[in-house]
Structure 1
């Protein structure tokens, strides 16, 4: 078991270990995000009473441009704040690793509720109702 853990740490500490791990986490978490966050917006836009109709492309273009602009702006702001916080501090690795582990644990518990038996402290966390619906808890 220790050999497997050492191999994972070695792979994670290589030159592209963190970007690849974050990319894969984004792919895995993307489904949960889209189903929980984006689908209600799409349903609200396309639903009219009991029928569904597709929005015209004239209405979709401003919507998607606004959505992408908002996400990019928020990412730039968060990235700037985090980078400024770490610019004068050597605590980057001491903060990054626990935050990534916490995010991974929260993701596993929302995606797989039975994993909460392994982490009783995390089972007490309150998640948004959307994630409860998706995860079936």
Structure 2
């Protein structure tokens, strides 16, 4: 059994991932995922009958199938990441240090995504793989026009593979959990953290999202530093120092 299960029961990594998802959605996802959300909301509302109540329209703008699809992809990726790392460590226990390395990478990626000053220090800023981004965009394009029901779920499944630094950090943390269950729970918490802001963008539009961004950048630094500290403690526990 990997040592990570002990702290998982205490909620350490899920809490980190929840905060990372919430802060990251404000500082990063507003610009990257916001346009997809707004396009879906516009397409859905255009097809709704005018007799619907305001509550029914707001429910439609929440895009529940889309978020469920994203969650499915993220949890599946987290399950694979945690399962693979756990299998490696189970067969080669002396490589347990790799779990701590993965958690350290997650902390660094979260900090770089959330704090502009750190991002500007990088000599070469990482860019998403162009081929993957193009394939995801091509698969998503026909689904955006009518993202209702199953098509909305399918769109979430597809866009869950959209490459970004925040997702890389989340998957590194999921791998650091050292188990398939730990990776799945970590990514579920991360997804849950991203949902409120994206729903808010769907309801209030991009203008509100940009206003939230300016406020979020003030709080992002301390919160992500706290996250990095918790991840460091988890890494130390993984190595048996705690």
Structure 2 partner of 1:126: 126
* CA displacement, residues 36-86 of structure 1 (integer Å, 9 cap, x when unaligned): 1543332120125xx8x85875xx564444333333332322232222222
TM-score calculated relative to the size of structure 2 = 0.35
* CA displacement, residues 5-44 of structure 1 (integer Å, 9 cap, x when unaligned): xxxxxxxx9x538964422321221121475154333212
Using the alignment, how far apart are the partners of 2:114 and 2:92 within structure 1? 34
Q: After the TM superposition, which of the residue ranges 73-82 and 30-39 deviates more from structure 2?
A: 30-39
Q: Which has the larger radius of gyration?
A: 1
Structure with more relative contact order (C-alpha pairs < 8 Å, separation 6 or more) = 2
TM-aligned CA distance change 1:99 to 1:70, over 3 Å: closer
TM-aligned CA distance change 1:126 to 1:19, over 3 Å: farther
Q: Does 1:70 align with 2:73?
A: yes
Q: Secondary structure at the match of 1:47?
A: helix
Structure 2 partner of 1:39: 34
- When the two chains are superposed, the root-mean-square deviation of aligned CA atoms in Å is 4.0
TM-score calculated relative to the size of structure 1 = 0.55
Q: Secondary structure at the match of 1:22?
A: helix
Using the alignment, how far apart are the partners of 1:123 and 1:18 within structure 2? 39
CA contact under 8 A between 1:45 and 1:55: conserved in structure 2?
Answer: no
**Runs of at least 5 residues in structure 2 that lack an aligned partner in the other structure:** 49-56, 129-163, 166-209, 218-242
**Runs of at least 5 residues in structure 1 that lack an aligned partner in the other structure:** 1-12
* CA displacement, residues 103-126 of structure 1 (integer Å, 9 cap, x when unaligned): 212221221122358xx5x55342
CA contact under 8 A between 2:7 and 2:13: conserved in structure 1?
Answer: no
